[in-house]
Amino acid sequence: MLTKFKPAMLKKLDLSLILGAASTVIFYAIVLRPSMHHTLIQRYTTEHPVDYVIVAMFLWGIADIVLKTFAFPRESFALREEWLPPRNGREPVAHAHEMLKAIQAKPLWLTESKIGQRIAQALGYVIENGSAEDYREHLNYLSSRGEDTTHARYSLVRFIIAISPVLGFLGTVVHFGTALSGISFDEMADRLPVVVSEMGEAFNTTTVALATAMTMMFALFVCERIEHSFDGFIDRFIERELLNRFEVKHANLTPFLSMVQAANDDALHIMAATFDRQVAVWTQSMESLFQRFDDRQKQEAAAWTTALNVLDQRHESLDNKSDNRLLNMLTQVETRQSHHLTHIEKTLQGVGLLRDDFKEIGRTLQAISHGEGKLTELQQSLSENLRVLHQTAQIDDALHGLTAAIHLLTTRHRQGGSPESIAA
């Protein structure tokens, strides 16, 4: 497996080198155009030959990182795949061969993923040894080897990160040497501005180198973090699904286990034969029992049929009686209904006569209401007459009183003669 992994790494390295070289050519074809002169990017990437080397190394490393990120979606989908059947306690080692066949039958992009290769290697160990002895140590070895493989995948990026600052300092030193070379002590004062300008440009190389190194360090951190998350998930999956899945068989116990297996097979054959005979006896007993059940069921069916016939006859007689009773009741209802209709007609006739009487009474009441005005006038005249008569009676009483008084005075005058006697 490792021999297959190295050519793959070399192919990826060659492809990243080709992409880096092509990217470098395209980059400088754009930067060296007249429209890009005196720009900041041209100033920092074309002032010295070391700048070209730093940019080429940076693009090579970026191409390698981009190629490695293309494998992340495949690894992510592979982690969601169902690789192994559910566990059911300790399983025999023979099941590992079936699991490996099922994994090899999956698509190539799944089997070449990290988790596919790790599971295949773990199952291959069980198949080769015929036992799960020292299985934990082997799984730990596979885990550490996976981490080493992940670390080795980014060796080119680490090399570029380490070499870029060195190249930057080299370019700065070369700039310093170029600026100071060929200058005598007497010319120092005259050429000091030129020297200072070239020394300022010398640090541009260091700036570019440090910027590329920091960028690639960040990209390396992100990629390795993703790779380590994949490795951690694979380690947990392997520990959960394969660590204690298979039976552990020691080499010293293999002959004894084979004898036990043979005895167990013989016992199973004897038990199977006994079970077959017992099943035959049970089958005969069940057939006779079912025959009795069939006979009993036929007898019960005949009895139920007879009972149902009797019930049908009784229901028919009851239905006939009910029909006759219903007809009699309907006849009586019709007769009573006709009598009621006759009474209703008579009542309606009486109501008609009563309506005529009420009309006559209404007309009489209407005539009486017309005569009420005359009665009121008569009552008023009678009241006036009574009042006059009452007043006349009062006058008569007054006249009678006055007459009596006159008669009394006349009598006393005749008897006494004087007013004083009269007064006494």
pLDDT digits (tens, 9 = 90+) for 188-226: 555 556 555 666 666 777 888 888 889 889 999 999 898
User: What is residue 218's predicted lDDT score, i.e. its pLDDT?
Assistant: 93
- How would residue 354 be classed by pLDDT, with cut points 50, 70 and 90? confident
pLDDT digits (tens, 9 = 90+) for 363-411: 777 766 665 556 566 667 767 777 776 777 677 676 677 777 777 777 7
Which stretch, 94-108, 169-183, 191-205, 403-417, has highest mean pLDDT?
A: 94-108
| 1 pLDDT tier (thresholds 50, 70, 90) | very low
Residue 372 exposure: Cα atoms within 13 Å on the Cβ side: 7
Looking from the CA of 127 toward its CB, the CA atoms found within 13 Å total 13
Beta carbons within 8 Å of 239's beta carbon, 6+ residues apart: 139
pLDDT at 322: 85
Structure tokens, 118: 């790790």
Q: Which structure tokens are listed for 269?
A: 């054959």
The domain spans of the chain are: 2-250
Residue in the block written with tokens 């596979």: 142
Instruction: Write the DSSP symbol of residue 20.
Output: H
Name the band, by pLDDT with cuts 50, 70 and 90, for residue 342: confident
* Span 53-63, average pLDDT: 87
Q: Is the pLDDT of residue 184 over 60?
A: no
In this prediction, residue 424 has a pLDDT band, given cuts at 50, 70 and 90, of very low
Whether the pLDDT of residue 88 is over 70: the answer is yes
Residue 72 confidence (pLDDT) above 80? yes
Lowest mean pLDDT among 74-83, 153-162, 176-185, 213-222: 176-185
Chain mean position to CA 357? 85
CA neighbor of 229 nearest in space, from 146, 337, 312, 112:
146
CA 214 – CA 341 distance, rounded (Å): 116
Is pLDDT above 70 for 187?
no
Q: What digits encode the pLDDT tens for the residues 296-315?
A: 888 888 889 888 888 888 88
CB-facing half-sphere around the CA of 161: CA atoms within 13 A:
16
Mean pLDDT of the chain: 77
Q: What is the mean pLDDT of residues 124-143?
A: 79
- Residue 2 is predicted with a pLDDT of 41
The pLDDT tens digits of the residues spanning 15-43 come to 888 888 888 888 888 877 777 777 666 77
